[in-house]
Amino acid sequence: MMRQSIASLTEKISFRIGLLIVIALVILAVSVLWISRSEPAADDQLADLLRQAGVVQLDFGPVQDPAQVALGQSLFFDKELSGNRDTSCATCHHPLLWTGDGLALSLGTGGDGLGPTRVKGDGRAFVPRNAPEVFNRGAPEWRTMFWDGRIIAQDDQTLLTPAGIMPLTQINNVTAAQAMFPPTSADEMRGHPGDIDVFGEPNELARIDGDDVEAIWAGLMTRLLAIPDYQPLFQAAFPDKSLDDLTFHDAAKAIGAFEIAAFTFTDSPWDQYLAGDMSALSDEAKQGAILFYGNAGCVRCHSGNLMTDQQYHNIGVPHIGPGKDEAGVDNGRFLETENPADQFAFRTPPLRNVALTGPWLHNGAYDSLETVVRHHLDAANSLLAYDMSHLAPELQITCRGDAAMQEAILETLDPLMLAPTPLTDAEVGQLLAFLHALTAPSATSLAHTLPDSVPSGLPVRD
Ligand code: HEC
Ligand code: HEC
């Protein structure tokens, strides 16, 4: 009796185990089938969308001359380029801050400290705009620089710049041309008349008339070539020129070469996916890409291989900061064209590594990527409901949230922003997963791009 019941019990148990194994196998088979069916579906769908949008792998541009890169690295980190010898390019485009400064609006000469804790100098103003990242600026597609496109490559082998027309024989690309202008800006690097430098000496660059950029560039070269350690660096970078023939254009070419060599990255999951590795992207990010290039309509402006049309759109960003004109307003592209349709329009930013480079937008209005995405989905209401509480108190007082300003901004809102884009929370999550997949693992730590010292001997690590 006892033995019988044990035997039937064992039989029952082994029957149940068998049944469980069969069920598990069926579930496994079904899920393998389901995964193998759904994955190619997402990839196929995405391939179609990318084909329609004409998006292929980004051409990251030519390899830069090592001697120019070496000179450019020194110049990029050297505060000698600023009138008061207290500000370098890296102050606002710091490798430890992913080539930005972590601030909504930048703080130039006279400021103290680095990154989000940097404080404004006495009597100084905020720079009116957010410092953009400078990743991948060697891609040949780049034809514009600045939020308002005040440097533009034209079809006739010349660049239109704030200093007039520059032929491409004089300066090799828009990135190099851009590097000529920060040292001419009084608030960013040059300083104001009467300033004294960090050694208590008069700032000779600040005394030059701001419109006379040629004299400012000549003054910068006089400074640089007076430093013995710069001479061999310049000679190696430009072996065909004598020291006397060098101009600040050459310094700017070297700075551009360094930016391109140091801050170009091809290893984001998205770039690997575009290169043919279908497993580089998570399922969620793939769904996000399908939205980005499909129903969410992001590709209408973040188009092409750079993810920007390099055109100007007013997407209803709240007005923050001291502005650019006498009325304290930053009218964006309008300042360049005076075309009323360009009021409050700013250049569509590229998006690689965007998860690293907050605060976002031309004035750092938002400090969370999710808020930036949600703003795009219902721009007008987002502008009206703007909450500035996360901004530094000094910036809150510069916010222009009055009805007249909101109305002015909404008047030229881009037609693509008029109708809200309804997405579920899960879809917003997918878009964010896609934006995170634009981060190159090798861009997450850039400390190795910092030099130990620069020829002037000025500090590089603060
Ligand atoms: C005080 C902060 C500050 C300093 C110093 C500074 N920048 Fe910038 N940079 C900015 C801001 C702000 C902008 C955006 C200005 C605009 O678009 O009107 C900008 C724009 C740029 C851009 C344009 C990117 C694009 O695609 O539009 C590049 C490249 C750049 N800076 C490189 C440099 C270099 C090189 C130097 C040194 C020669 C330098 N910056 C010095 C704050 C700074
Ligand atoms: C009408 C054109 C347009 C469309 C459509 C569009 N964007 Fe933008 N986007 C812009 C412009 C222009 C800016 C910068 C605006 C400014 O700063 O004033 C921007 C900024 C951004 C930024 C911040 C980048 C930075 O470095 O500050 C992100 C992220 C972004 N867009 C993602 C998206 C996503 C996701 C979508 C789709 C849901 C989308 N965009 C749709 C034009 C557009």
Both 276 and 259 in a single domain? no
For residue 101, tell me if it sits in a domain. Answer: yes
Q: Residue 319, SS3?
A: strand
Last residue of a domain, one of 234, 263, 292: 263
- What's the chain's length in residues? 462
Contact assessment for residue 166 and residue 145, using Cβ atoms and an 8 Å cutoff:
no
Contact assessment for residue 39 and residue 33, using Cβ atoms and an 8 Å cutoff:
no
For residue 229, tell me if it sits in a domain. Answer: yes
pLDDT at 12: 62
- Measured distance CA(336)–CA(88) in Å, rounded: 27
Nearest residue (by CA) to ligand 1, atom 35, is 179
- Measured distance CA(181)–CA(6) in Å, rounded: 90
Nearest residue (by CA) to ligand 1, atom 12, is 131
Candidates 80, 89, 361: which one to mutate for ligand 1, based on the most atoms within 8 Å of Cβ? 89
Return left, alpha or beta for 85; rule: phi > 0 is left, psi -120 to 50 is alpha, else beta: left
For residue 112, tell me if it sits in a domain. Answer: yes
Please say if the pLDDT value at position 1 is more than 50.
no
- For the stretch 272-306, what's the b/e string if a residue is b when 16 or more beta carbons lie within 10 angstroms of its beta carbon? bbbeeeeebbeebbbbbbbbbbbebbbbebbbbbb
* Stretch 436-451: mean pLDDT: 98
pLDDT in tens, 89-142: 999 999 999 999 999 999 999 999 999 999 999 999 999 999 999 999 999 999
* Stretch 315-340: mean pLDDT: 97
Which amino acid appears at position 213 of this protein? Answer: V
Both 210 and 348 in a single domain? no
- Structural domain boundaries, residue 427: 272-443
Q: Please give the distance, rounded to the nearest whole angstrom, from the Cα atom of residue 240 to the centre of ligand 1.
A: 29
pLDDT at 10: 56
Give me the torsion for CA of 191, 195, 198, 200, rounded to 10°.
160
Domain CATH number, residue 324 = 1.10.760.10
Q: Please give the distance, rounded to the nearest whole angstrom, from the Cα atom of residue 353 to the centre of ligand 2.
A: 14
Nearest residue (by CA) to ligand 1, atom 27, is 146
Candidates 348, 353, 369: which one to mutate for ligand 2, based on the most atoms within 8 Å of Cβ? 348
Q: Please name the residues in contact with 66: beta carbons below 8 A apart, sequence gap of 6 or more.
A: none
4 has which bridge partners? none
Q: Please name the residues in contact with 233: beta carbons below 8 A apart, sequence gap of 6 or more.
A: 67, 70, 71, 74, 455
Both 86 and 228 in a single domain? yes
pLDDT in tens, 170-201: 999 999 999 999 999 999 999 999 999 999 99
Both 258 and 295 in a single domain? no
pLDDT in tens, 194-238: 999 999 999 999 999 999 999 999 999 999 999 999 999 999 999
Judge if the beta carbon of residue 260 lies within 6 A of ligand 1: no
Cβ count within 10 A of residue 166: 18
- DSSP secondary structure string for all residues of 34-67: HHHHHHHHHHHHHHHHHHHHT-------PPPPHH
Radius of gyration of the chain (CA): 27
Q: Please give the distance, rounded to the nearest whole angstrom, from the Cα atom of residue 181 to the centre of ligand 1.
A: 8
Query: Tokens for 183?
Result: 């040292």
Ligand 2 pocket, Cβ-based, cut-off 6 angstroms: 292, 296-298, 300-302, 313, 315, 317, 346, 348-349, 351, 354, 357, 360-362, 372-373, 376, 414, 416-417, 431, 435
User: Which helix (H) or strand (E) is 256 found in, with range?
Assistant: helix 248-262
Both 90 and 218 in a single domain? yes
For residue 349, tell me if it sits in a domain. Answer: yes
Contact assessment for residue 46 and residue 290, using Cβ atoms and an 8 Å cutoff:
yes
Cβ count within 10 A of residue 440: 20
Q: Please give the distance, rounded to the nearest whole angstrom, from the Cα atom of residue 347 to the centre of ligand 2.
A: 9
Last residue of a domain, one of 204, 239, 263: 263
Phi first, then psi: give them for residue 198, nearest 5 degrees. -65, -15
Both 276 and 235 in a single domain? no
**What is the atom index within ligand 2 of the atom nearest the CA of 313?**
12
Pinpoint the alpha helices (H) of 263-329. 269-274, 283-293
Phi first, then psi: give them for residue 190, nearest 5 degrees. -80, -35
The whole-chain average pLDDT of the chain stands at 94
Both 307 and 169 in a single domain? no
Of all ligands present, the nearest one to the C-alpha of 377 is 2
pLDDT in tens, 279-313: 999 999 999 999 999 999 999 999 999 999 999 99
Of all ligands present, the nearest one to the C-alpha of 77 is 1
Both 214 and 292 in a single domain? no
Of all ligands present, the nearest one to the C-alpha of 361 is 2
- How many CA atoms lie within 13 Å of 225's alpha carbon, on the beta-carbon side? 17
pLDDT in tens, 154-171: 999 999 999 999 999 999
DSSP 3-state percent helix, strand, coil across the chain (nearest 5): 45, 5, 50
Judge if the beta carbon of residue 257 lies within 6 A of ligand 1: no
How far the first Cα of the chain sits from its last, in Å, is: 87
Of all ligands present, the nearest one to the C-alpha of 124 is 1
pLDDT at 461: 82
Short-list 140, 113, 144, 145, CA closest to 129: 145
- Measured distance CA(148)–CA(31) in Å, rounded: 51
Both 257 and 277 in a single domain? no
* Stretch 314-331: mean pLDDT: 97
For residue 42, tell me if it sits in a domain. Answer: no
Candidates 80, 188, 361: which one to mutate for ligand 1, based on the most atoms within 8 Å of Cβ? 188
Domain total for the chain? Answer: 2
* Stretch 441-454: mean pLDDT: 98
Nearest residue (by CA) to ligand 1, atom 5, is 89
Q: Which residue has the tokens 């007076």?
A: 226
Judge if the beta carbon of residue 138 lies within 6 A of ligand 1: no
Both 405 and 292 in a single domain? yes
Cis peptide before 183 (omega within 30 of 0): no
Last residue of a domain, one of 263, 281, 297: 263
pLDDT at 444: 97
What DSSP designation does 145 have? E
For residue 6, tell me if it sits in a domain. Answer: no
pLDDT at 462: 78
Of all ligands present, the nearest one to the C-alpha of 372 is 2
For residue 100, tell me if it sits in a domain. Answer: yes
Both 313 and 397 in a single domain? yes
Of all residues in the chain, the percent with pLDDT exceeding 70 is: 91
Both 276 and 253 in a single domain? no
- For the stretch 320-337, what's the b/e string if a residue is b when 16 or more beta carbons lie within 10 angstroms of its beta carbon? bbebbeeeebbbbbbebb
For residue 285, tell me if it sits in a domain. Answer: yes
Short-list 306, 256, 258, CA closest to 142: 306
* Residue 318 to residues 42, 132, 269, Cα–Cα distance (Å): 36, 18, 32
Please say if the pLDDT value at position 19 is more than 80.
no
